Chain A
Amino acid sequence: MAALTGMPSVAARRVGLGRAWQGGLAKLLELGLVLLGISTLLFFLIRITGDPASLAAGENASPESVARYRQALKLDDPLPVQYFNFIAGASHLDFGNSFRSQLPAMELVAEKIPPTIILALTSLCVALLLAFPLGIIAAVNRGKLIDRLVSVYCGMALAVPGFFLGLLLILFFAVNLRWLPSIGDDGPQHLVMPVAVLSVAFSALFTRLIRSSLLEVLHQDYIRTAHSKGLADWAVLSRHALRNSMLPVVTVIGLNLSQLLGGSVIVENVFSRPGLGTLLIESVQARDYPMAQAAVFIIALFVFGVSFLVDFAYQFIDPRLRNRG
C-alpha cells in the first residue's frame, strides 16, 4: 500500500541496476515462501475440517471404497510425511489428481488459464482507455461540473457490485434486447459484457488515481516554468505533467492486475465463462481440493509474478531509480 500512496515499495527502490540481481533473488525467495505458506494453510485446513478420502470417494460410497481412496491418497501416513510429500509434489506443480475426474489437477487448471488472462487483460485495456481521458479531464477542470460528474461516476462504479451490474447487463442486452449472448464463451461477443463489468470498477479506480496524481504534479514549479517559456498547454500536459504523474499509476495498475484476477473470479461466475475463477468455485463447491489448491497456487504465481515485473518496470519509467543503490 506504500506503493498506492505513490512511493515505490522498499523492494522496488532496491532494484537499481547495481542491485537488480540481489533484489530479484530476494523477491523470488519471498515468492517461494508465500506459495509455501498458502499451500500449507490449505493443506492443514482441509485435514482439520474433514476427511479427504470420503470426499474423494464421493457421497454414498461404501466403507471399502473409502478405504481404497484412503490408501491411494496415502492418508494413513503420519501427518508430517503426508505434508512432506504434498510439498514435494507442489514444488514441481503436482497436486495429485482431481477428485472428480481423476486427471492431474494441474493440467486441468492450466487449460483454464488463457480465457482468464484474455478477460483480465482486455478489461485492463478498456479500463485504461476510459480512465486516462476521464482522469485528465477531471484534473484539468478541477472543481467544475465535469469534474463532479466524473467523481459521481467513480463513486457509483465502485459501489455497484460486479455481479449486480452483470445481471443488469444480462437483463438489458441479453433478455430484453437480445443483442448479446448471456452466458458461455464462444467468440468475441461473449467477451463484451464480462469486460464491461470488470472494466467499469477498475476504470473508476484508475480515474481517481490519474486525477490525483496529475493534480499533484500540476502545481510543481517546473510546470509553471514550462508554461512561462511559452509551451502549448497540450505539450506541458503530455510531456511534463503526464509523464511525471505516471509512477504511482503504474504501481497501482501492477497491484490491481492481481485484483483483476480476483474480480474475474466472480465475473466469470456471473456469465458462466470458463476460466480459473469458474474452475475455482466449482472445485470448492464440489470439495475437489487438489483442484482448488492447484488453482490458488497458479493464481498466486501470477499475482506475484506480476508484482515482480512491475518492480522492474519502474526503472524504465523513473530514471532516478536506475542510478540509485
Chain B
Amino acid sequence: MATRKNLKLSEPGNSVRPVSVASAVLAAEPALPRRPFWRVRPGPVVVGAIVILGLICLGALFAETLAPHAPNEKDLLSRFAPPFWEPKSKPGYPLGTDNLGRDVYSQILHGTRASLVVALVAPTIALLIGVPLGLLAGFVGGLLDKIIMRLVDIWLAFPFIVLAIVILGIVGPGLLSLSIVLGVGFWAAYTRIVRAEVLATRRRDYILAAEALGVPQGRIVLRHILPNVASSLIVLWTFLMAVAILAESGLSFIGLGIKSPGISLGGMLNDGRGLLEKAWWFPVFPGLVISLLVISVNVIGDWLRDVFDPTVKR
C-alpha cells in the first residue's frame, strides 16, 4: 500500500492521464515552445507500433500482389486447412482456409483495406463537420454557443452505436454509408476541442492586436486560431481512427457494416463464429489483426499527444 514517500513524490502537473479520447486531448493545454516531433525520440514501443501499422498499411495497399489467392477464391478440396505450423496444413495457405476453402491470409490482406479506409475517412468527415461548428460556437458565443454545446453534450451521452445500427439497417450496409454514418457520429468531439481552444486563445494579445489592425475575422481564424488547434486536432484524429476501426469491425461483425462479397475483418469474425470447433484460425487471425491495429494506433496517438504537449506526462 501507500508509503509516505510515494505520496510525496507526486509532483503537480504530472498527473493528467487520458480518460477518454476527447478529454485526453482537452487536458493538453497548448504549451510553447513545441518541440518538433522528430526531436522527441520515440521509445521502442512506439517504434514497434509504427512498424506494425506500416506493415498492415503496406499489406492493404499491395493486397493484390501479396495475396497468394483472390480473397473469394474457393478451393473445395482444401477446406479447413490449418495454419502452416500444423502437420495437416496445405502449401499456399499460410494461415489456413475457411469452410469454403478460401485463403485466410488473402482475406485478411483485403479485409484490412476496409478497416483502413473507414479509419481514414470517418474521422475526416467528423473533422469537416465538427471544426466549423466549434469555431462558430467559440467565436459567435451567446445563444448559438449554448445550443451547439448542449447538442454536443447530448450527442456524446448517447451510445452512438445504437443509432448507427438502426441507420445502417435503414440505408443499407456498405463502405460508403458506414464511413458517412461513423463520420457524422464523431463530430461532437472536434467541436468541443475547437471551441475550448478558441475561447482560450481569442483574448491573447496577438489576436487582439490582429483585431485592432482590422484583420477580418475569417482571416484571424485561419491564420491565428486554426494553427493553434492543429496539434489537438491531429491527436484527436488519431484516436478517432482507433474508434472507427473498432466500430467498423463491430458493425461488420453484426452484419451491418460491410457485406459479402466485400471483405472486412469484422465480417470474417462473423463468418467464423460458427466454425470455432472446426477452424479456430479463421476467426482468430482477423481478430488479432484488429487488436494489433487498434493498439498501434492508440500507442501512436499517445506518443503524438506527448510530442505536441511536453507538459502532459504520465
A residues touching B (Cβ–Cβ < 8 Å)?
1-2, 4-5, 9-11, 30, 34, 38, 42, 45-46, 49-50, 140-143, 151, 155-156, 158-164, 167-168, 170-171, 175, 205, 208-209, 211-212, 215-216, 218-219, 223-224, 227, 233-234, 236-237, 248, 252, 255, 258-259, 261-263, 265-266, 269-270, 280-281, 284-285, 287, 289, 292-293, 296, 299-300, 303-304, 307
Contacts and interface: CB of A to CB of B under 8 A. Distances in A.
Interface stretch (B66-74, B125-133, B167-175, B227-235): B167-175
B19 A248 contact: yes
Residue of B15, B171, B246, B249 most packed against chain A (CB within 10 A): B15
B311 to A, nearest CB: 14
B27 to A, nearest CB: 6
Contact of A4 (B20, B149, B246): B20
A142 B10 contact: yes
Nearest to B15: A215
B156 interface: yes
Contact of A265 (B162, B277, B298): B162
Given A4-B23, A46-B170, A219-B12, A296 B159 contact: no
26 contacts: A1-B26, A1-B153, A4-B19, A4-B22, A5-B27, A9-B153, A140-B1, A141-B6, A142-B9, A159-B294, A160-B287, A161-B246, A163-B253, A164-B283, A167-B276, A167-B284, A208-B18, A215-B17, A233-B1, A233-B7, A237-B2, A255-B157, A265-B159, A287-B169, A293-B166, A296-B162
Contact of B17 (A38, A212, A261): A212
B195 to A, nearest CB: 11
Given A49-B170, A167-B276, A209-B19, A161 B283 contact: no
Contacts of A300: 158
B290 A215 contact: no
B156 A1 contact: yes
B88 interface: no
A212 B291 contact: no
B219 interface: no
Nearest to B313: A143
Given A212-B16, A285-B255, A175 B10 contact: no
Residue of A159, A218, A223 most packed against chain B (CB within 10 A): A159
Contacts of B160: 262
Contact of A280 (B4, B162, B277): B162
Contacts of A4: 19-20, 22-23
Contacts of B15: 212, 215-216, 218-219
B113 interface: no
A304 B299 CA distance: 33
Nearest to A207: B17
* Closest A-B pairs by Cβ, 6 of them: A262-B159, A212-B17, A284-B169, A215-B15, A164-B287, A159-B294
Contact of B154 (A34, A209, A233, A287): A34
A212 B10 CA distance: 11
